Chains A and B, each alone.
Chain A
Amino acid sequence: MANLKEMAKQEERLTGGHRACAGCGIPIIVRQIMHSIKDPVVVGCATGCLEVVTTIYPYTAWKVPFLHNAFENSAATVSGMESAYRAMKKKGKINKEIKFLAFGGDGGTYDIGFQSLSGAMERGHDMLYVCYNNEAYMNTSVQRSGATPFGAHTTTAPAGKVKQGKEQFKKNLTEIMVAHEIPYVAQAAVGNWMDLTKKIEKAMTIKGPKYIGILQPCQLGWGYPMEMTVEIGKLAVDTCIWPLYEVEHGKYKLSYKPKEKKPITEWLKSQARFKHLLKPGNEKLVELIQANIDKHWNNLLLKCEGGVV
């Protein structure tokens, strides 16, 4: 069980000195994940904020083996490393227990990395894929991705005189991962460290392909004061924008039910990327968003109460 005092004794596997923005949610995720794993870890990472800020030659913030290949192939690359590990183990050349993690942003996971993720999951490699989801291509200045929510302002689906931000609702990759029938799928968020660390600990006990999508507030791309990253993450969960749940061998389990489900306006108010939605005339859009959130939340509640799906 996650225990901060125990975790604090473990060596830091991500050092300071990386170039993430002040208040960035990604290294918070990475540190919490690393502190939840006791075994040696090997990391593969897609091109994106995480890779760029942590490995600018000759500086690397990683104290575990780390490989960056390209943008869309984090899952394929890690599946190659994992296959090499199995080959070595079979030949008796290695006997350590090593955990394999693949990191990708929402761009490198929902969009360009989708195929390679799906393939790796289907093939059953023993690895955990972690999507740090800041809902846009942040490293290249906030372009829309398949994970960008309806109405959000991004630089390729901006809010302007005739358009009100993204016109499509986001892809539900977590459910697509559930449809792959892999042993473990989960959603977590920056803001609930206990939930995230528990999920990682559990994932490490499960053999086979695993996926976790973690909502990661981005102060620059979402537009909020940098010290509020953790609070914004909590708000996402309390407004049910990003429910915390897991699906273990097909069985849905809700991780957290807000005592008081907050209205979507709280969420929209908190970030500059939504401010145009609160202008008079856009009420219909806000209604659409609330309806969509409610629909997904209610569906999720049904799945969680219903047991095995």
Chain B
Amino acid sequence: MPILAKTGNEAMAEALRQINPDVVAAYPITPATEIAMIFAQFVADGDVDTEFVAVESEHSAMSATLGAAAAGVRAMTATSSQGLALMYEILPIVSALRLPIVMPEVNRALSGPINIHCDHSDTMAARDFGWIHIFSENAQEAYDNLLQAVRIAEDTRVRLPAMVTTDGFIISHCMEKIETIDDAKAKEYIGEFKAEYSLLDVDNPITVGSLDLQDYYFEHKYAVAEAMKASKDVIIEVGKDFGKKFGREYKLFEDYQLDDAEIVIVALGSTAGTAKAVVNDLRGKGIKAGLLKIRVFRPFPHVEIANALSKAKAVAVMDRSDSFSSAGGPVFTEIRSALFDSAAKPKLINYVYGLGGRDISKENIEGVYDELAVIAKTGKIKNLFNYLGVRGI
């Protein structure tokens, strides 16, 4: 299997090349632009058969991608931040129409103020739209996740769209070593696209996207909810199968030194990588530190995460976005809810960190573990909701 030096964007573009979708409709936005640029070069060089549509906005990107998918082909797009925000109107339509669109999404802060750097506010704000959300820690995962996402989304038990994320600039623009699958095997893995309905089937005309009144909307949405529930097992299946075929198994989340951990951090994306280094250091000193890295945020694996965290004494959930609820960030809220019914539960606190690309260092993370150690010892929480790294507080 080829070993390549790729940035996160390059890794995703490489996966896209091997997926070779029928249609890609894309619009530039930092830091995702490169994916479309590299892919456009593949198109220009005849490395893919894709019809590349250089649309005039992200709203049109998702609209055209939806149109293509409804026409019965494999269609993809890629974006970030404001681009995703412009797509928001269309995202729940895609899931309602059960179109298995897979999209690389490079996590970047939502304006305002305008900021081109990493945080998770863009995809977190889209968590209610019936899309599967898979977070990547690094370029390898970005590549692997994109390939798996196609198998997950297109599975007939699922038929939901999926976004695969990387941290903007931190992963998207940093060179790493990745192991790819050779073209023939990748093509075989991705397989032929099977449309469940097609507007180009003129002999069997259908109407897609009717108005639902009060009597049918709920049933259509329930179907999306059920598909999201069903996707969990499919994600696990696909992750296991990927491990068997290509040597790298993927699960709903990664537990790192979690088994006997007393103090635990929950994180998503590249921060998990930094946290792993800190866990190693602490373990070296005999401290029972652990990490739970969430990979799949939608569907939210509430049962599994609650189980995994139940034995810990103190847990800090790291949110790289703020939902401005005044009661914690999105990941914290969902984990707290997951643990509500657990007989055994850890003390749970929240850190909102890293907004707008504010760096998070090993020292920062050590500080969090220090705080957790105090909580584990005393049983007392000083502050439930914390902001890490803001000057002046």
Footprint of B on A, CB under 8 Å? 40-42, 44, 51-52, 55-58, 60, 62-70, 72-73, 76-88, 90-91, 94, 96, 98, 115-116, 118-120, 122-123
A-B contact count (CB 8 A): 165
Residues of B within 8 A of A96 (CB): 202
A-contacting 9-mer, from B209-217, B278-286, B316-324: B209-217
B67 contacts A69, C-beta separation under 8 Å? yes
With CB as the reference atom, state the residue of chain A lying closest to B73.
Answer: A84
B170 sits at the interface (CB 8 A): no
A73 contacts B60, C-beta separation under 8 Å? yes
B202 contacts A67, C-beta separation under 8 Å? no
Residues of B within 8 A of A66 (CB): 199, 205-208
**17 additional contacts (CB under 8 A) given A44-B67, A70-B63:** A41-B202, A42-B202, A55-B211, A60-B207, A62-B205, A62-B207, A65-B200, A69-B90, A76-B63, A81-B71, A87-B22, A87-B49, A88-B22, A91-B22, A115-B60, A116-B56, A119-B55
A51 contacts B60, C-beta separation under 8 Å? no
Partner among B73, B89, B205, B210 whose Cβ is within 8 Å of the Cβ of A63: B205
B375 sits at the interface (CB 8 A): no
B59 sits at the interface (CB 8 A): yes
B136 sits at the interface (CB 8 A): no
Partner among B50, B59, B89, B202 whose Cβ is within 8 Å of the Cβ of A98: B202
Residues of A within 8 A of B207 (CB): 55, 60, 62, 65-68
B67 contacts A76, C-beta separation under 8 Å? yes
A91 contacts B200, C-beta separation under 8 Å? no
With CB as the reference atom, state the residue of chain A lying closest to B66.
Answer: A69
Residues of A within 8 A of B213 (CB): 56-57
Partner among A60, A65, A72 whose Cβ is within 8 Å of the Cβ of B210: A60
B36 sits at the interface (CB 8 A): no
Residues of A within 8 A of B63 (CB): 69-70, 73, 76-77, 80, 116
A80 contacts B205, C-beta separation under 8 Å? no
Partner among A40, A56, A81, A91 whose Cβ is within 8 Å of the Cβ of B49: A91
22 A/B residue pairs, CB under 8 Å, sorted by A? A55-B209, A62-B207, A64-B205, A67-B209, A68-B211, A69-B93, A70-B63, A73-B60, A80-B23, A80-B63, A80-B68, A81-B200, A83-B64, A83-B67, A84-B69, A84-B200, A87-B49, A88-B22, A94-B200, A98-B200, A115-B56, A116-B57
Residues of A within 8 A of B89 (CB): 70
Footprint of A on B, CB under 8 Å? 22-23, 25, 49-51, 53-57, 59-60, 63-73, 75, 89-90, 93, 199-202, 205-213, 216
Residues of A within 8 A of B211 (CB): 51-52, 55-57, 68
Residues of B within 8 A of A83 (CB): 23, 25, 51, 53, 64, 67-68
Residues of B within 8 A of A72 (CB): 59
Residues of B within 8 A of A42 (CB): 71, 199-200, 202
B202 contacts A116, C-beta separation under 8 Å? no
A94 to B72, CA, bound (A): 11
Residues of A within 8 A of B53 (CB): 79-80, 83, 123
With CB as the reference atom, state the residue of chain A lying closest to B199.
Answer: A65
Residues of B within 8 A of A78 (CB): 67
Partner among B60, B65, B71, B209 whose Cβ is within 8 Å of the Cβ of A85: B71
Nearest 8 CB-CB pairs, A to B? A80-B67, A119-B56, A80-B64, A68-B209, A76-B60, A84-B71, A60-B207, A40-B202
Nearest CB in chain A: distance from B120 CB, A: 26
Nearest CB in chain B: distance from A27 CB, A: 15
Q: Known contacts A76-B60, A84-B67, A116-B63: does B51 contact A70 (CB below 8 Å)?
A: no
